[in-house]
């Protein structure tokens, strides 16, 4: 009896609840409000957003608002007087044939955008595999996008001039070297669109390459074990994965083809029917001192780009792709 009593378990002593007991049981200490009820913590995220939102409003929405206001006036860009003319500027935009005629020039750049997307997608797919000197080729493809557009315009201006670099290279192969590449509308617009292909292919290449490299490697290994060819891997793995990026590239291609400016402005100044809608807008503002009409042109161009983007997003909505 004595041994059994000594080995019996001692009675459990009542202990005070620790500081974490209430937290574990879901109760908070009395007198302390949750963090959402504290005013400073509630406004902290907005304090971090204050600076970027202020810059966004100051340099984006305020200028757009001023542009819309100027489009209803006859302001010349210099005089402090701004007379309200209503929708007269918009009437001129839609009734002057030379304004919407320049949209035909955008078709050249739209076709060039399709070419550059195809080229960028091809090289991004090829260089995503393990190849020799692939980092060198990545740099070569992306390098033109890093060069200033004005510098590119002057370089290709000498490249396409009579007796220039292109004519010298063609003469080595016995081709006719006497050709005015920027002398006719068709040849000039094709040449300028080719320059845009050379310059902007690197941007699409980087977008596609980043999307392809984000695909899990296990999918490629499984496809390789199943005996899938590279075309089958591209069709069933790569293409569905990069669909959102491809949709973004299409939006950028359409908006970019409508707002081309620096390359044709530097190389031809809009001559030989190479003028774009943006070049016409700049001429209205700074050459003819019709800032009100130029603002109306800019508003119309913005509305067209937003409309095309909305239609494209409705026809090809973003789909969540889950391959794993």
In whole angstroms, give the CA distance from residue 160 to residue 295. 34
Is residue 120 predicted with pLDDT exceeding 90?
yes
| Least confidently predicted of 89-93, 172-176, 286-290 | 172-176
pLDDT at 198: 93
From residue 272, how far is each of 143, 262, 275 by CA, in Å?
30, 16, 8
User: In sequence order, what are the residues at sequence separation of 6 or more whose Cβ sits closer than 8 angstroms to the Cβ of residue 194?
Assistant: 112
How far apart CA 122 and CA 100 sit, in angstroms, is 35
Q: Are 153 and 267 in contact (CB under 8 A)?
A: yes
Give the up-direction half-sphere exposure of residue 41: CA atoms within 13 A in the CB hemisphere.
6
Q: Distance from first CA to last CA of the chain, Å, rounded?
A: 67
Is residue 214's pLDDT more than 70? yes
Q: Strands, DSSP E only, in 147-244? A: none
User: Taking the CB of residue 181, how many other CB atoms lie within 10 A of it?
Assistant: 19
List the one residue out of 121, 142, 124, 145 whose CA is nearest residue 247. Answer: 121
**Phi (first) and psi of residue 103, to 5 degrees:** -65, -20
* Most confident range, picked from 35-49, 113-127, 217-231: 113-127
The 10s digit of each residue's pLDDT in 17-30 is 444 444 444 455 55
| Beta bridge mates, 73 | 84
- The answer to whether 203 touches 113, Cβ cutoff 8 Å, is no
Query: 211: which residues sit within 8 A by CB, 6+ positions away?
Result: 241, 242, 244, 245
* Helix (H/G/I), strand (E/B), else coil: 2: helix
| Cβ neighbours, 10 Å, residue 188 | 23
User: Does pLDDT of 245 surpass 70?
Assistant: yes
pLDDT at 103: 84
For the stretch 73-80, contacts whose Cβ atoms lie closer than 8 Å and that sit 24 or more positions apart, written own/partner, are: 73/292, 74/290, 74/292, 75/291, 75/292, 76/289, 76/290, 76/291, 76/292, 77/285, 77/286, 77/289, 77/291, 78/289
Other beta carbons within 10 Å of 320: 5
User: What is the Cα–Cα distance from 218 to 298, expressed in whole angstroms?
Assistant: 49
Could you please report the per-residue DSSP string of 261-306? -HHHHHHTTTTTTT--HHHHHHIIIIIS--HHHHHHHHHHHHHHHH
- The conformation of residue 77, written as its DSSP 8-state character, comes to S
Per-residue pLDDT band for 183 (boundaries 50, 70, 90) equals confident
Q: Is the pLDDT at 108 greater than 60, yes or no?
A: yes
**pLDDT 10s digits, 287-299:** 889 999 999 999 9
């Amino acid at each position: 009896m004595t041994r059994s009593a000594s080995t019996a378990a001692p009675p459990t002593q009542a202990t005070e609840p620790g500081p974490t007991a209430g937290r574990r049981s879901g109760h908070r200490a009395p007198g302390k409000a949750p963090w959402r009820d504290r005013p400073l913590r509630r406004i902290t995220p907005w304090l971090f957003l204050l600076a970027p939102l202020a810059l966004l409003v100051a340099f984006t929405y305020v200028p757009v608002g001023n542009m819309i206001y100027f489009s209803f006036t006859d302001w010349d860009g210099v005089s402090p007087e701004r007379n309200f003319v209503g929708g007269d500027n918009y009437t001129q935009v839609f009734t002057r044939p030379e304004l919407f005629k320049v949209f035909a020039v955008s078709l050249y750049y739209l076709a060039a955008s399709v070419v550059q997307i195809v080229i960028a997608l091809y090289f991004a797919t090829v260089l995503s595999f393990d190849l020799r000197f692939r980092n060198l080729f990545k740099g070569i493809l992306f390098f033109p996008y890093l060069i200033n557009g004005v510098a590119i315009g002057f370089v290709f201006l000498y490249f396409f001039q009579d007796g220039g670099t292109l004519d010298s290279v063609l003469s080595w192969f016995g081709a006719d070297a006497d050709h005015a590449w920027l002398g006719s509308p068709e040849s000039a617009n094709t040449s300028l669109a080719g320059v845009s292909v050379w310059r902007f292919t690197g941007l699409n290449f980087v977008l596609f390459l980043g999307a392809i490299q984000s695909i899990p490697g296990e999918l490629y290994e499984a496809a390789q074990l199943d005996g899938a060819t590279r075309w089958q891997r591209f069709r069933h793995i790569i293409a569905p994965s990069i669909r959102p990026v491809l949709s973004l590239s299409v939006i950028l291609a359409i908006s970019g083809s409508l707002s081309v400016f620096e390359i044709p402005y530097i190389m031809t100044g809009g001559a030989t029917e190479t003028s774009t809608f943006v070049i016409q807008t700049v001429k209205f503002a700074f050459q003819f001192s019709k800032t009100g009409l130029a603002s109306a042109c800019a508003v119309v161009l913005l509305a067209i780009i937003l409309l095309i983007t909305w239609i494209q997003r409705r026809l090809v909505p973003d789909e969540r792709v889950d391959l794993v």
